[in-house]
Amino acid sequence: MRAPGTTGLTAIGAAYRASCLAELDALKPGNVHAFADGHRMATVDFVTSAEVSAPHLARTGARVGARVRAAMAATLAAVGQNTNLGILLLCAPLARAAETGMPLRDALAAVFDDLDGRDAEEVYAAIRQANPGGLGKAPRHDVTDLEAPPSLREAMAEAAPRDAIARAYVTGFADLFDLGLPALAAARARGLSEPWTTTAVFLAYLGHVPDSHVARKHGLARAEALRDEAAALLDLDLAVPPVDALMAKDRAWKAAGLNPGTSADFTVATVFLDRLLA
C-alpha cells in the first residue's frame, strides 16, 4: 500500500506510517489486507487511518495517553470508525521511547514506569470514542467509569488476564521482543522478503496466542480453536507464496465473522519496533 507523503512528519512518524502500510500489504487470513477487504471495512480506510494518525502518534514530547487520544480522534474524523485503537495503544509507548536516545527496551521500561493518571484519562477517553466491540463490563477500572484509575499501567494490569494488549503493558511488551521480532528474523533468515516476512509475523502471533479480539466477540474457546487452525499454517512454505491456501482460510474465517485484529495490531507494532531498532 502507498499513501501520499505527509509534510513535516518526523522520522518516528514516517516509520510508524510505513509499518502500518507494510502490514496492509501482507496477506493476513481473516483480517483486512491488500488481497481482500472484510468485516465491512476497506483497505483504503486503514491507509487513511495511518496517514492521519501518524503526526499525532509521533508528536515529539507528548505523553502516551495524549498520543493515543489525538490519533484516535483524527482517525474517527477521517474514516468514521475504529480501525486502529490497538495499533495506537501498542505503538504510542514505542514512539515515546524512541525519542529518548536510550536503548529502546530500557527506554520502554522507563515509559511504562512513567504512566500516570493523565495517561489513563486520555486512553480511557480514546477507548470510549472508539467504542470497540465486545468489551463487556469490568469489575474494576471499567472504561465507562466517570473517573479513570490513578495509573494507566494499573488499569492495564486489571485487564491483562483477558486482553493481550493490556498484558503487554504489564510485561514490558515481551511478546514483541520474544515472539514478534524472532519470527521476523527467522522469516528473513529463510530468504523471505516483504510482504511475506510480515505474513510470517502475523501467523506467529495467531498460531501462538489466542486472539483477544476474537475472544471478546466469540469467546475464549473459539479463539483457542482459531489458534489451533493458525498453528497448522505455520508449516506452510511462504517462500513459494501459498496464496490459495491462505485465501481459503481468509474466506472461511471472514464468513464466520472471525477477525484476528489483535494479532494484526501486534504485527504492526513488531514491524514498527524493527524499524526503530534499525
Question: Mean of the pLDDT values across residues 149-159?
Answer: 88
Q: Is 133 exposed, middle or buried (0-12, 13-18, 19+ CB in 10 A)?
A: exposed
pLDDT at 192 over 80: yes
Backbone torsions φ then ψ of 252, nearest 5 degrees: -65, -45
Please give the model's pTM, rounded to 2 decimal places.
0.92
Confidence of residue 146 (pLDDT cuts 50, 70, 90): low
Residue 80, number of CB atoms within 10 A of its CB: 9
Question: Mean of the pLDDT values across residues 172-192?
Answer: 98
Question: Mean of the pLDDT values across residues 65-86?
Answer: 96
Domains for the chain: give ranges and CATH numbers.
11-277 (1.10.4200.10)
**What dihedral do alpha carbons 186, 189, 192, 193 form, nearest 10°?**
100
For 229-250, give one letter per residue: b (16+ CB within 10 A) or e.
bbeebeeeebeeebeeebeebb
pLDDT in the model for residue 150: 82
